[in-house]
Amino acid sequence: MVTNALRYSNWTDNDVAEVQRVTFLTDYPFWDLMGTMLIFFVWVIWLWLLFTVFIDIFRRHDIGGWSKAIWVVFLVILPYIGVLAYLIVEHKGMAERQAKQVQQAQQQTDEYIRSVSSQADPTEQIAKAKALLDAGTISQQEFDQLKAKALA
């Protein structure tokens, strides 16, 4: 009704569109916005849980392919019940596998950092090369090459 009344006045179509836009924004109250945001975040959490369960199923080494297939079919056919059932049945195993994976990743990172840091110290490399030279294992020319490489 308001739109028709505005159309017959001296207002342009842009003015009418602006009034309609403002009317739409005021027709969506604050608590409706909060409800929509809550539903969106619950949906995101649901997807996160679903992906976490799928990832855990496929990373497991203690069950065979048929067991994995049964879990996947259960999750596809009845996703809500399937995720809740998997979390209830496998909660301890999921936590242990995740902790073990984090520990392995930390060990690999530590080993890599140690290997890179020991190779990156030029004074240590030169000292090792000097010890090899003094022991007669390498020649003076090889020592000079190693020293140049360490300082490069």
How does pLDDT run across 51-109, given as a tens digit for each residue? Answer: 999 999 999 888 999 999 999 999 999 999 999 999 999 988 999 999 999 999 999 99
**If residue 58 lies in a helix (H) or strand (E), which one and from where to where?**
helix 30-59
What pLDDT does residue 25 have? 57
Of the chain, the end-to-end C-alpha distance in Å amounts to 80
Is residue 87 within 8 Å of residue 53, measured between CB atoms?
yes
Can you tell me whether residue 125 is helix, strand or coil?
helix
Tokens 């005021």 — which residue?
Answer: 26
Rg over alpha carbons for the chain, rounded to the nearest Å, is 33
Domain ranges of the chain: 2-120, 121-152
Is residue 3 within 8 Å of residue 20, measured between CB atoms?
yes
> pTM to 2 decimals?
0.55
Residue 105 CA to residue 29 CA, distance in Å, equals 48
Residue 50 CA to residue 82 CA, distance in Å, equals 9
